[in-house]
Structure 1
Amino acid sequence: MEAYTKTHRVLRLILYLSTGYHRTKDECTGFLGIKDTAFYNYCNLLRDVGFELKQKEGRYWIDSSVPDSKVLLNILHFSEEEMYLLSRSIDILDEGTGISFGLKNKLVSFLNHDEVIDDYLAKHKSEKVRLIRKAINNKTRVLLVNYSSGNSESVRNRLVEPFEFKDDFKLIWAFDVDLKKNRQFKVSRIEEVVETTFGWEYGYSHRSKPIDIFRNTGELNKEIDLTLNIKARNLLIEEYPMAEKYLDKIRENRFGLKVSVAKYEGPGRFVLGLADCIEVRGDKGFVEFLRSKRKKF
């Protein structure tokens, strides 16, 4: 598999250190597949371009309370998948022509103009998004009126402390004041957003969770182990581009996928739809999940 570009690794490091979790050097180098020297060089680069990179007791993180450190996460809201595709597209350009260098500089310049975001929101997004973004900037609470929850199958008001957008302003991470926990909310399921004058009280608890290659959110505490034929491999990459980096060729026309996931539902739907093209090797939890789904058919 083709090695990652430096651009892609730096973008991934920014995301990895901006999730709210404090990471060790070994975790970062293992995640990126780089040596210690490269990691320290990347850290210096992030500080040089204005990111508030913190270090304490051997752990590193980007301080998201500093506005400039949220450039990539809270302005254009690139997902890791989008960053991967963007960096690959840019680096395909011939460095010798100077086009790639110029494009990267223009992108950085674009990202640093907040009026671009205001214009984008005015043209493409709703009043709900504008009010939520205002609350994030002012660190205040909002009331999500008649939020329709698919998990609890209920419709009720939610008093929350919003702190992060995801997926092009379609999702928000917010601290649910009643449940005392961080939750993800879909903007489309909010009937109305009502501003309040109450400031955040639980800012120290605000944490978003990682997203797996199947775009499920949660702790990556489950693992799947699959063998795919060419058809399944191609469809997987087309539908979930980030899966490509976890694929290994194990023999002629067969590819292995072993990766941690947040939920079994995402890979489960993919496997059940291509049962003749995929061999499931694990883990036990995933095998049991698939068995229970098959019994319902």
Structure 2
Amino acid sequence: MRHDKLEKELQLLLLLSENRSYSVEQLCRKMETSKRNLYYYIEFFRDAGFKVEKYGNCYSIDRSSPFFGRLIEKISFTEEEAIVISRLLNKVKKKNAIVETLKKKMERFYDLGILAKDSLSDKDSHIISVLHDAIKHENQVVIRGYSSPHSKTRRDRLVEPFMLMDSNREVRCFEPDSGLNKTFKIVRMDDVEALSDNWAFKDRHKQMFTDAFMFSSEETTRVEMRLGQLSHDLMAEEFPRTLHNMTQEENGTWLLSLDVCSYIGIGRFVLGLFDDIEVLGDEGFKRYLKEKLDKFNGILA
């Protein structure tokens, strides 16, 4: 029925407009829908004028979409008003459920994590604010006096910033001079100058992913395995981020299917509990484990 379809569209709109990106698999799971229907809804949003952003396998809706602009004018606070309200809420010392709920709502709708962290220095707050605006408006910036311990240099860098990371300690950028996506640390910057030039290489921006085992990469690989009770419990305790990727089976085992940035983290776990885990894929992961076991057997021989 049409009202059921509308409910799905509104649910997806809420998910895509949060201050984070969801993968296709996560969206399908949360909405209990197929990939085909999900792509249909996404195309509907694009046709309706929403700016749907895609980084790798993840989607989000840009808050600068015209619909949000009209909605915000009607019902929301300005960024300055939101910051003042957030700071007042943070001054409430006594634990209060309503205050905590308000804080979460403010953080979810406004970019307060970017705009107003009292622990930041004035310099870092200014830099993060400039980067945030550049990302929002898709502008290039010049990072002034960036210190690189790798090359032992301090120089200016022309970049296209597109994602703040690690609680705003880092920014992911495309650097036209090198043709590479790089992660820059805020603390190593002297200043940031916003330019009027728009992004020229948006199609070359690549998101940096961090998996449940704290390995990072521009690409991810899907691995699947069947866990026994022991391996399931230890996985849940040591790597709680994997919990939403587990599905309990009728015979008491658990099916784990998740994206990883490297075989090293998940491989270490599997090799330590190999007699309680059945690896189902991918083929590259199976080869990786076989090579490690062969090498280990060679040491013992």
TM-score interval, smaller chain: 0.5 to 0.7
Deviation by residue 1:83-115 (Cα, 9 ceiling, x = unmatched): xxxxxxxxxxxxxxxx98885455223555667
SS in 2 for 1:123: coil
SS in 2 for 1:224: strand
1:283: which partner in 2? 282
1:123: which partner in 2? 119
Deviation by residue 1:11-57 (Cα, 9 ceiling, x = unmatched): 98327996599x8xxx7863434259xx99xx8xxxxxxxxx94239
What TM-score do you get using the length of structure 1 for normalisation?
A: 0.58
Give how far 1:279 is off.
3.2
SS in 2 for 1:172: strand
Larger radius of gyration: 2
Counterpart check, 1:134 vs 2:134 = no
1:187: which partner in 2? 185
Conserved in 1, the CA contact under 8 Å of 2:158 and 2:177? yes
SS in 1 for 2:46: strand
Closer/same/farther in 2, CA of residues 117 and 284 from structure 1, 3 Å limit: closer
1:47: which partner in 2? none
Closer/same/farther in 2, CA of residues 223 and 195 from structure 1, 3 Å limit: closer
Separation of aligned partners in 1, 2:193 and 2:177: 16
2:269: which partner in 1? 270
Task: List alignment gaps of at least 5 residues for structure 2.
Answer: 1-7, 53-59, 70-78, 80-95
Letter of the 2:225 partner, please give it.
L
Alignment of 1:230-241 (within 5 A): 230-241=229-240
Alignment of 1:34-45 (within 5 A): 34-35=32-33
Conserved in 1, the CA contact under 8 Å of 2:106 and 2:112? no
Conserved in 1, the CA contact under 8 Å of 2:225 and 2:280? yes
Give how far 1:176 is off.
1.7
Deviation by residue 1:140-161 (Cα, 9 ceiling, x = unmatched): 4233623356xxxx55555422
SS in 2 for 1:107: helix
1:145: which partner in 2? 146
SS in 2 for 1:55: helix
1:88: which partner in 2? none
The correspondence for 2:16, drawn from 10, 14, 18, is 14
1:219: which partner in 2? 219
Closer/same/farther in 2, CA of residues 64 and 285 from structure 1, 3 Å limit: same
SS in 2 for 1:269: helix
The number of equivalent residue pairs is 238
Alignment of 1:170-181 (within 5 A): 170-181=169-180
Closer/same/farther in 2, CA of residues 290 and 160 from structure 1, 3 Å limit: farther
Conserved in 2, the CA contact under 8 Å of 1:128 and 1:187? no
Give how far 1:130 is off.
4.0
How well do the aligned residues superpose, as a CA RMSD in angstroms? Answer: 4.7
Higher relative contact order (CA 8 A, sep 6+): 1
Task: List alignment gaps of at least 5 residues for structure 1.
Answer: 1-5, 44-52, 70-74, 76-98
Give how far 1:174 is off.
1.0
2:64: which partner in 1? 66
Letter of the 1:56 partner, please give it.
D
Letter of the 2:255 partner, please give it.
G
Separation of aligned partners in 2, 1:227 and 1:248: 10
The correspondence for 1:108, drawn from 98, 105, 108, is 105
Give how far 1:257 is off.
1.3
Letter of the 1:14 partner, please give it.
L
Letter of the 1:13 partner, please give it.
L
Conserved in 1, the CA contact under 8 Å of 2:206 and 2:218? no
Alignment of 1:198-213 (within 5 A): 198=195, 199-202=197-200, 204-205=202-203, 206-209=205-208, 211-213=210-212
Conserved in 2, the CA contact under 8 Å of 1:229 and 1:255? yes
1:32: which partner in 2? 30
> Identity over aligned residues, as a percent?
22
Give how far 1:246 is off.
2.3
